[in-house]
Amino acid sequence: MGRITIGKEMVQFSCKLEANPKLWNTRAGRMNGKSDHARAVNREIDKINVAINAGYREIVSIRGKATAEEVKNTFQGISTSQETLLQVFREHNERYKKQVGISYAIRTWQIYETTCNHLERFIQDKYHVSDVHFRQLTYSFIEDYNFYLRIDCKLKPLTVLQIITSLRKMVKIAIQRKMISKDPFSGFSPERPKQCQRYVPTEEMEKIMNLNLNDPALEVTRDMFIFSCFTGLSFIDLYHLAAGQIVKDNDGLLWLNIARQKTGSISKIPLLEVPMQLIEKYKKTTNNNDKVFPMKSCSVLNRDLKKIAKRCKIERRLTFHMSRHTFATETCLSQGVPIETVSRLMGHRKVKTTQHYAKVTHNKVNEEMAVLSEIIKDKYVLAS
């Protein structure tokens, strides 16, 4: 048995070592003799002493003081519940769940839950314990976890990146609460998926708009996709779009005024000619008079878009979410709308989020360089 004493507090724990009582030196806390067994036991005792003292110093460096129970828990890797990795993760998810539908979307909470489950399985498989202390969350731990997700779980790079990002958020919480003093992610760079074009170029969008479908079901899907390309509405916001969310301003212009389902932030979007035509087209087709469009499920929309892409001879895989990228890139940014305005229209809280959607196209670069060329024409003279 091992014993840790700090002040008047004392705790005991099993060292999981065996020694012959006749060879045990009670005063020294070690085995007598130079047999292989005695040396092996004494080496393990030295390791335990070093680990306990290191844990004590770390706790004191963060908090200024330490209890015997805290030192024992740190040594065993099962500190108080609020300081273990999975416990903090679960507490975070519980708080997040209470805000679903108010500040956050249920899909984001589901991602956190899935991430927590992956982490729990990894800890059980790798360390054979139910939870670990934040101080065990080292650079090696993160590398092993990253390897486990990519190789053992065979997850795609984007999924792995989402999971690792969620773990990093827990680390930030631990640092803020002064559970740890150093960031174990320092120097770690996760593999990032290859960037693919997420928006639909103008020429492809025109093909989709001008395609004669002769199929009412596909026509609805095409129209919903195009509506989102000109408004930036996500699937869930378009699904719930109601007539009461279409408002008229003092100049008589129509706007969409909605609170985004995902973030709760307000989006005020002016209605351009194409979306206004689509609203008029579907005025009398919805069973629910309050709903603007006869929306399908997202999976059905994506299935139909695959058929539409094939008919248009578009090789890329079309998804409904690409319409939101198209709004940011082709409808707005390529037409000279500042990214700050695009961010407001899309209901983002940060411009950084919008930057993931809005990409500078080749045509936009050509236009901007043509303008620049005119501005600096004859302004600079190269000495002959």
Q: Which of 51, 76, 101 is the last residue of a domain?
A: 76
Task: Give the rounded percent of residues in the chain with a pLDDT score beyond 70.
Answer: 86
User: Which tens digit of pLDDT belongs to each residue from 298-321?
Assistant: 999 999 999 999 999 998 889 999
Highest mean pLDDT among 119-128, 289-298, 374-383: 119-128
* Same domain as 222, residue 296: yes
What pLDDT was estimated at residue 379? 66
What pLDDT was estimated at residue 174? 87
Of the given ranges (100-109, 141-150, 252-261), which has the lowest mean pLDDT? 100-109
What pLDDT was estimated at residue 81? 45
* Same domain as 97, residue 70: no
* Same domain as 261, residue 143: no
The CATH number for 171's domain is 1.10.150
Range of the domain at 15: 2-76
* Same domain as 101, residue 46: no
**pLDDT of 362 over the 60 cut:** no
The pLDDT confidence band at residue 354, using thresholds 50, 70 and 90, is: confident
Task: Give the rounded percent of residues in the chain with a pLDDT score beyond 90.
Answer: 30
Rounded to two decimals, the pTM is 0.56
What pLDDT was estimated at residue 383? 62
- Which H, E and C letters describe the chain, residue by residue? CEEEEECCEEEEECCCCCCCHHHEECCCCEECCCCHHHHHHHHHHHHHHHHHHHHHHHHHHHHCCCCHHHHHHHHHCCCCHHHEHHHHHHHHHHHHHHCECCCECHHHHHHHHHHHHHHHHHHHHHHCCCCCEHHHCCHHHHHHHHHHHHHHCCCCHHHHHHHHHHHHHHHHHHHHCCCCCCCCCCCCCCCCCCCCCCCCCHHHHHHHHHCCCCCHHHHHHHHHHHHHHHHCCCHHHHHCCEHHHEEECCCCCEEEEEECCCCCCEEEEECCHHHHHHHHHCCCCCCCCCECCCCCCHHHHHHHHHHHHHHCCCCCCCCCCHHHHHHHHHHHHHHCCCHHHHHHHHCCCCHHHHHCCCCCCHHHHHHHHHHHHHHHCCCCCCCC
Domain count, the chain: 3
User: Which tens digit of pLDDT belongs to each residue from 157-193?
Assistant: 888 988 999 999 999 998 888 788 788 898 888 777 6
What pLDDT was estimated at residue 64? 67
Highest mean pLDDT among 39-48, 61-70, 78-87, 175-184: 39-48
* Same domain as 329, residue 255: yes
**pLDDT of 380 over the 50 cut:** yes
**pLDDT of 86 over the 60 cut:** yes
What pLDDT was estimated at residue 87? 87
* Same domain as 226, residue 137: no
Higher pLDDT, 107 or 122: 122
- For range 60-71, the mean pLDDT: 76
* Same domain as 21, residue 166: no
The CATH number for 291's domain is 1.10.443.10
Higher pLDDT, 377 or 140: 140
